[in-house]
Structure 1
Amino acid sequence: MQFGLFSVGDVTPDPTDGTTPSEHDRIKAMVAIALKAEEIGLDVFATGEHHNPPFVPSSPTTMLGYIAARTERLILSTATTLITTSDPVKIAEDFAMLQHLADGRVDLMLGRGNTGPVYPWFGQDIRQGIPLAIENYALLHRLWREDVVDWQGRFRTPLQGFTSTPRPLDGVPPFVWHGSIRSPEIAEQAAYYGDGFFANNIFWPKEHFVRLIGLYRERFAHYGHGTPEQAYVGLGGQVFMRKNSQDAVREFRPYFDNAPVYGHGPSLEEFTEQTPLTVGSPQEVIDKTLAFREHFGDYQRQLFLMDHAGLPLKTVLEQLDILGEEVVPVLRKEFAALRPAGVPEGPTHAALVARHAAGEAPVPGGVPA
């Protein structure tokens, strides 16, 4: 099981004192959080991609390349790479370059994003969101696996005899997660290619994601990539912890009540009851996270959102210390003890290279015969 953090990079006022970090401060804070993730023994840091205020991570590979130079073990990923509005040729080149710089410690999560106006900003039509995601990934998949590509599609100019450079490290492309909170078409796409499916279950009740993940697992097996239990699943989570639950609730409530996404809506108590948000003691976080397995089956990657809603960097770093010292070690032990034989571990470049060299099947990222 891989544990890590994902950040959407929001610039949000602190509701307790009215201060707002500058863009510079927020970017530096995200780097500090990534470095802290490695320090406390987490496996993954993932950044979102946004092209509008109040968010700062418009260039994920730039940020991840900088973090790669300052870390040794951390897997560097995205919480969304916009497959709909980014040119798949540029995605192929940027992430292959990052893969070389980071010695393979790279994967990415493809998604459509949650900002409608981004489509016309990059010359696309939001009504074509699903077809764009499907066609653009079909091209990206080929660009990483074929040295010379001829391509004709609906949404970009044709390619004739095109070679994407640099080629993937060791001839093995970065592992791809397809992220979705609502679209069965994306679960189907992930299953078709044998890629990972990241169900960011932080907002909707679990019943919705039980169905979505169930569909992905069923179709993963249908396409011959393995059993449903061998499919690659990632989940989201949100936590805020103090030694005593009452202290955690009292401190976090103003941040929750004024958060840009869910503020001024359901109460904190209603939200924690219906979603993965846990505000309480470390043991409560452990118990709720372990329960994910009961709903969704064994899975490979758990990412936590911890730097949102205007929380100051000092508080976030305190939270990470608690996560690294009191929560993740217990979760690692418990999930490892529960994992049946034959269920894959979280994907790494070294493991994918070994499987590729051994000619084992199925290898993630393949396509059905």
Structure 2
Amino acid sequence: MSQDLYETLGVPRDADADAIKKAYRRLARQLHPDVNPDPETQEKFKEVSHAYEVLSDPEKRRMYDLGGDPFGGGAGAGGFGQGAGFSFTDIMDAFFGGQGGGAAGGGRGPRPRVRRGQDALIRLEVDLAEAAFGTTRELKVDTAVLCTVCHGDGAAPGSTPVTCETCGGRGEVHQVQRSFLGEIRTLRPCAACRGYGSIIPEPCRECSGDGRVRSRRSLTVKIPAGVDTGTRVQLSEQGEVGPGGGPAGDLYVEIHVAEHQMFTRHGNDLVCSVTVPMTAAALGTSIDLPTLEADLVEHGAETDVETTVELDIRAGTQSGTEVVLNGRGVPRLRGAGRGDLVVRIVVETPTRLDERQEELLRELAALRDEESPDGHVQAAHKSVFGRLRDAFNPR
């Protein structure tokens, strides 16, 4: 191969190693057989690879500049012979922009022993009133905490970690395999130190070198007003302590709201049913309805809000009628105000009557001409013409 190697890469003779590497990457991206499979381009790629193989090695470059044979007669001009020493990493770097190159290419380095701990999740059941108005709970959690003997470094008292002799503290070792492309050099985590770059000769007996132990501890969690089932309360840095005494993760408390005997929650609204006698529905009445605040008083809490509200049932109220009490629902979690309390009226029909009661009801039925009522069925859906007919012919 008579062409000047510097001209092949398109660099001056005084180019430094970085300029030679950049030139090779640029040409390799253009000429690689996977990009341009024609024979002429493949031959040009071999020339570029051969030039880079020589000029990237200081000793071979010095021999070439002095006019000698940089391979000592070993490798062919193609640069892919058995004597080829450029790394497959160089080709990968040309396409993926890696920072390493050749045998001297840098790796990722040792992985740290100190890492952030994992987040933890616990579930907490609360009453509806506690979810609505907020509460404070004491929790017992079982998580990883900092080892008090070694204070997180994992070594027994009086000892320290030592540099791994296998990898020299790099945490990685080179593996070389031969292929049709030459020598493929890869980096693998060091098996001796498991990629840490150091070895603990005397691990702490309390934590076995992990820097943390499991322990049960107490936490106070404040449940904000307005939470619902599925809401998660985050406690920063109260989760698992990381390996090597690393910073703790977060603890999440997931809320589950227990069912209430009287109220059902729909968003921020509360729904309940009130059963009234037939006579009360017909004549009208008012009742004192307990509110959700009554549960707080029952559990010993103090509140300035009324625990009952007067519910006005108008005369002639039908079963299924809903009465809305504004602002008596659940406080909004991230906002002002409260939802509503929706009361559904259920009219109770008596099933057992004595003679006098039955006599009075029959007398009432006669006065209202309801002794033999003609029941009628109302269609669920009317046609457009039917609705127009009813509008112009009211009953």
**Higher relative contact order, structure no. (Cα contacts within 8 Å, ≥ 6 residues apart):** 1
| TM score, norm. by length of structure 1 | 0.17
Identify the structure with the greater helix proportion. 1
